[in-house]
Amino acid sequence: MSNFPEDFLWGGAIAANQAEGGYLEDGKGLSIADILPVGEERIQKIPLKLSDDTFYPNHEAIDFYHRYEADIDLFAELGLKCFRTSIAWSRIFPNGDEAQPNEAGLKYYDALFDKLIAKGIEPIVTISHFETPLYLVTTYGGWRNRALIEFYDRYTQVIFERYSDKVTYWMTFNEINHAHTLPLIAAAVDVLDIESEQKRLEVIYQASHNMFVASSKAVINGKKVNSNNQIGCMLSLSPIYPATCNPKDVFESYQLRRRSLFYGDVQLKGKYPTYFQRIVDENHLSLDIRPEDLDIIASGTCDYLGFSFYRSSLHESGMKILGNTGGLLGKKNPYLKENKWGWPIDPLALRYVCNELTDRYDKPLFIVENGIGLKENLDSKGQIIDIERMDYLKKHVEAMSEAIKDGCHILGYTWWGPIDIVSAGTGEMEKRYGFIYVDKNNDGTGSLKRVKKASFNYYKQVIASNGEAL
Ligand code: BGP
């Protein structure tokens, strides 16, 4: 007998900017994601505008913007019960600060959600997934500016009113805790020019605060529009193990972990945690946190915690801390195998995280990203037999099943990239997560044809058996 609840939401997840393409279509404005170059340069200092001699794979991506109907037919065949995508903010408000929304953008998501619902798949929405309108960064300085609270408020009002009869589960900001590791991508603030660590931290914490207020306002307003709306936060929550039993390693790993959980603490408990004051004092941070903001944060706590989980990391005291879209990059763990991008495969860590978060927050969890990126090509028979992906899926579903037995309340599981999409971390196509292969190469060539991989039937069987047949 399956121990997954009957209504468990098995699904898949993407982000608009990594799949849709059509980057200027139907009035869409540029977003941050549209100007990021590929590879390592992506998280370094980049000009905040398009450059003629740079190739941006996500401008076409997998052309989901035009091909979503056929893709959703495949998702239905796979048996998905839900599908998480983001709404590209700059399709709705091209610059971000307009008074009126772009109707063509709104119509697109109407059609997308209607198609999903017609196929029995529940749409789940990330309101902002690394795709803040670029104009808000270049003109207002991104989330460091309180003006964005108002613009986000206007945007969320519009989408709640438009889609609340189609969408129940929402998430306010994708991986908001990456404000520290990927400030431009996650918090729309360009801090690479700021040399002083104190000033850099001030911008990041101010941006985070403004996002907290915006997120809480969205929770409050979303419920006013429809009291059934379930509005969650979303964090990247790979665990950080101490590299040794040296108490320094243990304590520093714990402090680092807190830097991520800080975001959950504020959004789920509705107040700044007590350890925050010391961060403010020691770093001499001067932050604009108003009493009325704290009231909003207290009354707009999130309904559930959505999180991404890919791997664990290992920390040794004094190590330089590097950002990466999967969390922190640490030391190599000798007990674990890794994928080609050095991400260790650690299913037990998923059970660990689910228990840790349940103990800390006692709120429902939603595993909204999990998966393995592999480099893949069609074999001579035109197939992809992705044993590694099936094995990864099996072990993570087993870990999730154990976490449920441990007493964790898990709403669902949405595999990251059920169809190959552009990678957020590298900007390339070659890091593939899909059960469905897309014939598209890093240089933009390829027919865009879709081909089911061997894992397609495997995930189908997992869903059909409600996590029993692994
Ligand atoms: C998360 C992001 C996703 C995503 C995923 C996998 O951090 O929310 O947008 O792409 O990681 O990362 P990558 O694409 O770098 O492999």
Span 277-322, pLDDT tens digits: 999 999 999 999 999 999 999 999 999 999 999 999 999 888 765 4
pLDDT given at position 50: 96
Q: Could you tell me the two tokens for 29?
A: 């404005």
pLDDT range class, residue 328, cuts 50, 70, 90: low
Cβ-based neighbours of 48, under 8 Å, separated by 6 or more: 35, 134, 137, 138, 190
Instruction: Say how many Å lie between the CA of residue 236 and the centre of ligand 1.
Output: 9
Average pLDDT over residues 436-458: 97
Cβ proximity of 16 and 10 under 8 Å: no
φ and ψ at 178, to 5 degrees?
A: -75, 5
Please report the domains of the chain, with CATH numbers, ordered by start residue.
9-464 (3.20.20.80)
Distance CA 177, CA 188 (A): 13
Distance CA 357, CA 364 (A): 9
DSSP category for residue 87: -
Average pLDDT over residues 267-274: 98
Distance CA 206, CA 149 (A): 12
On the question of pLDDT at 397 being above 50, the answer is yes
Q: Could you tell me the two tokens for 329?
A: 């990059």
Residue that has been written with the tokens 């196509």 in this structure: 429
Q: Tell me the C-alpha to C-alpha distance, in Å, between residue 35 and each of 27, 131, 139.
A: 17, 10, 16
pLDDT given at position 321: 58
Residue nearest to atom 15 of ligand 1 (CA): 425
Residue nearest to atom 16 of ligand 1 (CA): 423
Cβ-based neighbours of 362, under 8 Å, separated by 6 or more: none
Residue that has been written with the tokens 């399709």 in this structure: 91
Q: Report ipTM (2 d.p.).
A: 0.98
Among 156, 358, 151, 125, smallest CA distance to 264 is for 358
Instruction: Say how many Å lie between the CA of residue 313 and the centre of ligand 1.
Output: 16
Residue type at 8 in one-letter notation: F
Q: Catalytic: which of 369, 388, 398, 430? A: 369
Distance CA 453, CA 418 (A): 10
Cβ proximity of 384 and 453 under 8 Å: yes
Q: Could you tell me the two tokens for 305?
A: 């915690």
pLDDT range class, residue 325, cuts 50, 70, 90: very low
Indicate whether residue 431 lines ligand 1 (CB < 6 A): yes
Instruction: Say how many Å lie between the CA of residue 293 and the centre of ligand 1.
Output: 31
Crossing angle for the helix pair 247-269 and 197-225, to the nearest 10 degrees: 40
Average pLDDT over residues 169-192: 95
Catalytic annotation present for 369: yes
DSSP category for residue 338: B
- Per residue in 407-423, pLDDT tens? 999 999 999 999 999 99
- Per residue in 113-145, pLDDT tens? 999 999 999 999 999 999 999 999 999 999 999
On the question of pLDDT at 271 being above 90, the answer is yes
Q: Tell me the C-alpha to C-alpha distance, in Å, between residue 360 and each of 155, 174, 281, 310, 426.
A: 31, 20, 25, 20, 33
Q: Could you tell me the two tokens for 304?
A: 């559930």
pLDDT given at position 41: 81
Of all residues in the chain, the percent with pLDDT exceeding 70 is 98
Q: Could you tell me the two tokens for 454?
A: 């061997």
Out of 369, 426, 429, give the residue to mutate to test ligand 1, the one with the largest number of ligand atoms within 8 Å of its CB.
369
> Within 13 Å, how many C-alpha atoms sit on residue 391's CB side?
10
- pTM (2 d.p.): 0.97
Cβ proximity of 301 and 269 under 8 Å: yes
Residue type at 95 in one-letter notation: N
Distance CA 438, CA 62 (A): 7
pLDDT given at position 326: 42
Assign 450 to helix, strand or coil. Answer: strand
